[in-house]
Amino acid sequence: MNDVIQTIIEWAIRIGISIAILLVAKWLSGIFYKAFIKFTEKTSVVSIQYRKTMRTLFNLAFYALAAFIIISVLFKNLAPVLAGLGVSGIIVGLAVKEPLENLICGILIMINKLIYEGEAVDIGGTSGGVQEIKLNHVLIKTWDGKLVTIPSKNVWAATIIHFWPDNIRRNDLNVGVSYSSDLNKVMKILEEAVNSYEKLYVDDSHKPMIQFTGYGASSIDFVVRFWVEKANFIDSSTELAKIIKSRFDENGIEIPFSQLDLHIKDGPTEGRNEVRG
């Protein structure tokens, strides 16, 4: 009976120590995480856009260390435990193969700074803003409000389009005019319209361009290429379209609508069945 009580007391102490170790690991993780964030804000060694992911990494590291310490506390003789781990290691390895792949790819994504939280991207055909970068997956909030979870290994292997690598971006506006229009006059009006746009971004490397694109079914087609800053990108197409339409109306330039001319020819009447009443 005394041996049973002694065993219960020993295990109670071990479990108590184990809980204390977990609490200390959590506390140390928070301390190191805050210190790391302060360091990155001052030095910019690691982007602070990985805040949530870095917290997960610190928790994982300290909890893993705590787990090894707790095992040594709970089991004084580790030989049977290690033997059991060796036997089940292959089975566990196969079971966690995919999570481990995602874990490694998640770390590689952060190290190589492939994407950032809050960035607008297209990952393998899924477009939206990066909501959160976790170790094993990435959360993308699409333009229509859906939340898509993409495994880290798929992100690592996918073609990634960064919509805003810089603060400026080119916008294209397609314009069609009637075949009766004076093309020299049309191009001059388009140039004046785009250059009068107050939100236009211009420097030596970024200038607006008017380009002929082809003879359409009902119109002669041009594309107006111009640069704007990120904050003005969405509204710029509509605003410039209004300016161009107003200038065309003032100068009698027609923007044609699609039309189809039908020519019906009378064919031979031989062989037709006449319907008589």
Give the tens place of pLDDT for each residue, 185-198.
999 999 999 999 99
pLDDT digits (tens, 9 = 90+) for 196-233: 999 999 999 999 999 999 998 889 999 999 999 999 99
**CA nearest to 117, candidates 201, 204, 50, 62:** 50
For residue 271, the model assigns a pLDDT of 55
Share of the chain above pLDDT 90, in %: 42
Give residue 249's pLDDT band: very low, low, confident or very high (50, 70, 90).
very high
For residue 47, the model assigns a pLDDT of 52
pLDDT digits (tens, 9 = 90+) for 78-112: 555 555 555 455 554 545 567 778 888 887 887 78
Which of residues 1 and 141 earns the better pLDDT score? 141
Which of residues 178 and 80 earns the better pLDDT score? 178
Which of residues 13 and 90 earns the better pLDDT score? 13
Q: What is the mean pLDDT of the chain?
A: 81
- Greatest mean pLDDT range, 25-39, 44-58, 177-191: 177-191
* Mean pLDDT value of segment 60-74: 75
Which of residues 133 and 195 earns the better pLDDT score? 195
**CA nearest to 176, candidates 69, 67, 123, 253:** 253
**CA nearest to 199, candidates 230, 177, 222:** 230
Share of the chain above pLDDT 70, in %: 78
Rg (CA), the chain: 34
Q: Which two three-digit tokens encode residue 172?
A: 């294209």
Q: Give the least confident one: 57-71, 151-165, 242-256.
A: 57-71
Q: What is the rounded CA–CA span in Å between residue 56 and residue 185?
A: 62
Contacts of 53 (CB under 8 A, 6+ apart): 106, 110, 117, 132, 133, 134, 135
Q: What is the rounded CA–CA span in Å between residue 23 and residue 17?
A: 10
**Is pLDDT above 50 for 64?**
yes
226, 175 Cβ separation under 8 angstroms: no
**CA nearest to 240, candidates 251, 254, 255, 227:** 227
**Is pLDDT above 70 for 269?**
no
For residue 113, the model assigns a pLDDT of 81
Which of residues 151 and 47 earns the better pLDDT score? 151
Contacts of 127 (CB under 8 A, 6+ apart): 120, 121, 140, 142, 143, 161, 163
Amino acid in the structure at residue 134: K
| Cα dihedral value 179, 185, 188, 193, nearest 10 | -70
Which residue is associated with the tokens 């495994």?
Answer: 151
Query: In which order are the strands placed within the sheet that holds 120-123?
Result: 147-151, 137-142, 126-133, 120-123, 160-162
192, 208 Cβ separation under 8 angstroms: no
